[in-house]
Amino acid sequence: MTEQEARRMRRARFEGLAHLVVEPLHRYLLRRTGADMVDDVLSETMLVLWRRLGDVPGLGEGSEPDPGDVLPWCYGVARGCLANARRADGRRLRLVERLIRTQEEAPAGAADHSELHAALADLGALDREVVRLWAWEGLAPRQIAEATGLTSNAVSIRLHRAKARLAARLGRKDAGRPGHKRDEGRSSQ
């Protein structure tokens, strides 16, 4: 038997199985979960059935499978896929709740960066990405160039101009350099 014939036979076996079990599995899942989740879980179940086609009891090579032999095993697969989906939803829900709590529980002394975020929003998308890669990710211009597809020179120019626009927007153009005293580095004599 050639590889192509084996694939064709495998596909025919799966299609026969799918024809037999899709409707009962759909009804099974509808009775156990919300309609918004049924199609995803059914798709995952069918994927598992495809992967484990050789493990399905009662699924012979040539004959039409008997529903009494294959359905119980397929229900077990659907049950496992449904449990996985519910666990994933639970994890997502807990993550959302945790994120909401951390936003609500921001420390009273936490810095308000809304002005900075507004200034960043005024930049173009590419300039904003260059500034973020430089400031937040700590990348050098040549590394930013690699990440964005720009040249190192273009990144340096964009970064210089974006920082100047941010400083002007934040009203820090005339202010001294933050963290430095005016007479720092000078002799007192």
- pLDDT for position 107: 60
CB neighbours (10 Å) of residue 132?
A: 14
Q: Please state the three-class secondary structure of 132-171 as a single string.
A: HHHHCCCCCHHHHHHHHCCCHHHHHHHHHHHHHHHHHHCC
- pLDDT for position 98: 87
Mean pLDDT of 116-132: 88
> Please, what's the b/e burial string for 38-54 (b: 16 or more CB within 10 A of its CB; e: otherwise)?
beebbebbbebbeeeee
The Cα–Cα gap between 59 and 56 comes to 6
Task: Give the distance from CA 3 to its chain's centroid.
Answer: 37
Residue 91 scores a pLDDT above 90: yes
Q: DSSP labels for 45-63?
A: HHHHHHHTGGG-TT--SSS
DSSP 33: S
- pLDDT for position 119: 86
CATH pick for 8-104 out of 3.40.91, 1.10.1740, 1.10.260, 1.10.150: 1.10.1740
* Its pTM surpasses 0.95: no
Residue 4 scores a pLDDT above 90: yes
Q: Report yes or no: 42 and 78 within 8 Å, Cβ to Cβ.
A: yes
| Per-domain boundaries in the chain | 8-104, 114-169
Residue 114 scores a pLDDT above 90: no
User: How high is the mean pLDDT of the chain?
Assistant: 85
pLDDT tens digits, 146-165: 888 899 999 999 999 999 99
Q: Which residues contact 69 (CB under 8 A, 6 or more apart)?
A: 57, 58, 59
- pLDDT for position 188: 47
Cα-based distances in Å from 55 to 51, 52, 60, 70, 71: 9, 5, 11, 10, 13
Question: Out of 45-54, 63-72, 94-103, 176-185, which region has the weakest mean confidence (pLDDT)?
Answer: 176-185
Topology of domain 114-169, per CATH?
Arc Repressor Mutant, subunit A (1.10.10)
- pLDDT for position 116: 82
